[in-house]
C-alpha cells in the first residue's frame, strides 16, 4: 500500500488557503511536503516574507511534515519583475500575477517538485481541475479540465490561463470546491494558527506599494502633455509609460471646461510622451470602444469546439460575450479600457479554455 501513496509538494505562502490545502491533502492520504517559495523583494520596501515563512513552518510542524525553502529570488526578479518593467517601458500593461503563476509556481516550483520525487504540486488557488477521458482515444489521451473556483468572489482561474495539459496533470487545487468562509472554518477546526491570519499577498511588495511609485525607480518620471480629442494640450502628467488605457487618475488637468466630467485615458504616444483623454458620456467617444483584439502567446488548455464564447480582460470582471477566429477575439458589444499587454482569458461557462496576451486592438 505504501508504494501507492502519492507524494505532493504544497506551496505554502503562510496564509490560510495553502495551510488548509496541505491539511486536506494529508487527511486524504497523500505524503505531503511543505515548500515556501522565496521571491524577490526590492530594497527599501516592507515585505513580510520572513513572517510568512515562519507561518508556513508552523503548519509543517503541526502536520509533522517536511519543510523546504525554495529560493527563486533570481528567477522571480528576471521572469516576473524584469518582464513587467520591460512591458511598461514599451507602453504595454502586463499582468505580473499571470507571469508569477506561469514561471514561478507552475514553472520552476513544479519542475523542482517532480525532480525531487513528487507526483503533484498543490497550491491554495481558488480553481478546480477535473481529469477527463476523451472517448474512443484510450487512457493515453486523458486530459484535464480547468474550471473556475466554486467561490466566484475568490475565483483565480483568470491568472491560470497559461497552464498546459502536461502541467495540469501534476497540479492539485484542494480548496477550489470551497467557499472562503468554509476554508476559515476548516482552519479553526484543524486548529491551524492561520485561521485568523490576513490573506497573504502573492506579490508582497506590489501589495503594499503604489505601482507608479515602484516603476519610477526603473523609469524616471518625465513631464508630458495631456491632450483632448482635438489634440489640444489641457494638462500634464509624469510619464505616458505609467498609464493604462481606461485609467482616470494620476494626471493633472489645467484647462477645465464648464462640463467638468471625469476624463479617461483613451490612447498614449510613448515616443511623444503624451496621453489623450476623453469623458465617458453621450455614448462614449468611439476611440474608447474596442470591437476586437488580436492575441499573441495563445495557450489553449483544451480543444475549442465552438466560436461563441465568453472572456475576461481583467480579474473578477463580468464575463464578456465574444467569438474567436484564429488569433482574433471579436466582442459582441464594444468594450472600454482595453490595453495591449493585458491577458484575455476565454471561458465556456465555468470552464477556463486558456487565453492570450492582447497584442493590438481595433476601435470602432
Residues serving a catalytic function are 100, 204
Write down the H helix ranges in 157-243. 165-168, 180-189, 211-215
Locus of grid cell 474512443: 136
The dihedral region occupied by 221, where left means phi > 0, alpha psi between -120 and 50, and beta the remainder, is: beta
**Alpha-carbon gap, residue 340 to 244, rounded angstroms:** 9
Render the burial of 25-63: b for 16+ CB within 10 Å, e for the rest.
bbeeebbbbbbbbebbbeeeeebbbeebbebbbbbbebb
Greatest CA span in the chain, whole angstroms? 78
Which residues, in sequence order, are CB contacts of 353 under 8 Å at separation 6+? 300, 301, 302, 304, 309, 346, 347
**Alpha-carbon gap, residue 112 to 104, rounded angstroms:** 10
Task: Map residue 218 onto helix, strand or coil.
Answer: coil
- Rg of the chain in Å (alpha carbons): 22
Provide the 10 A C-beta neighbour count for residue 271.
7
**Alpha-carbon gap, residue 10 to 30, rounded angstroms:** 11
Q: Are 340 and 359 in contact (CB under 8 A)?
A: yes
Provide the 10 A C-beta neighbour count for residue 206.
18
For residue 296, the cross-strand partners are: 357
Amino acid at each position: 500500500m505504501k508504494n501507492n501513496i502519492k507524494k505532493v509538494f504544497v506551496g505554502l505562502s503562510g496564509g490560510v488557503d495553502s495551510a488548509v490545502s496541505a491539511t486536506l491533502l494529508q487527511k486524504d492520504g497523500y505524503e505531503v511536503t511543505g515548500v515556501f517559495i522565496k521571491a524577490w523583494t526590492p530594497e527599501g520596501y516592507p515585505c513580510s516574507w520572513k513572517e510568512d515563512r515562519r507561518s508556513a513552518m508552523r503548519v509543517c510542524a503541526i502536520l509533522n511534515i517536511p519543510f523546504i525553502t525554495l529560493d527563486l529570488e533570481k528567477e522571480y526578479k528576471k521572469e516576473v519583475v524584469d518582464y513587467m518593467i520591460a512591458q511598461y517601458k514599451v507602453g504595454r500593461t502586463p499582468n505580473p500575477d499571470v507571469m508569477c503563476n506561469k514561471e514561478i509556481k507552475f514553472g520552476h516550483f513544479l519542475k523542482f517538485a517532480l525532480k525531487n520525487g513528487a507526483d503533484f504540486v498543490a497550491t491554495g488557488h481558488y480553481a478546480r481541475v477535473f481529469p477527463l477521458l476523451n472517448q474512443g482515444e484510450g487512457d493515453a489521451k486523458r486530459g484535464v479540465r480547468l474550471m473556475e473556483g466554486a467561490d466566484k468572489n475568490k475565483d483565480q482561474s483568470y491568472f491560470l490561463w497559461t497552464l498546459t495539459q502536461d502541467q495540469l496533470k501534476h497540479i492539485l487545487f484542494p480548496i477550489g470546491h470551497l467557499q472562503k468562509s468554509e476554508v476559515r472554518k476548516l482552519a479553526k477546526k484543524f486548529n491551524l494558527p492561520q485561521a485568523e491570519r490576513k490573506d497573504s499577498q502573492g506579490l508582497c511588495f506590489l501589495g503594499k506599494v503604489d505601482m507608479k511609485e515602484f516603476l519610477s525607480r526603473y523609469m524616471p518620471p518625465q513631464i508630458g502633455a495631456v491632450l483632448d480629442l482635438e489634440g489640444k494640450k489641457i494638462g500634464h502628467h509624469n510619464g505616458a509609460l505609467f498609464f493604462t488605457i481606461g485609467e482616470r487618475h494620476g494626471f493633472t488637468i489645467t484647462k477645465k471646461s464648464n462640463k467638468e466630467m471625469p476624463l479617461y485615458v483613451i490612447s498614449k504616444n510613448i515616443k511623444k510622451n503624451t496621453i489623450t483623454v476623453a469623458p465617458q458620456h453621450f455614448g462614449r467617444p468611439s476611440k474608447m470602444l474596442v470591437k476586437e483584439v488580436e492575441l499573441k502567446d495563445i495557450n489553449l488548455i483544451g480543444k475549442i469546439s465552438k466560436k461563441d464564447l465568453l472572456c475576461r480582460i481583467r480579474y473578477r470582471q463580468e464575463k464578456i460575450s465574444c467569438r474567436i477566429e484564429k488569433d482574433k477575439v471579436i466582442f459582441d458589444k464594444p468594450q472600454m479600457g482595453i490595453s495591449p499587454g493585458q491577458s484575455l482569458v476565454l471561458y465556456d461557462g465555468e470552464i477556463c479554455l486558456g487565453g492570450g496576451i492582447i497584442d493590438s486592438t481595433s476601435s470602432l
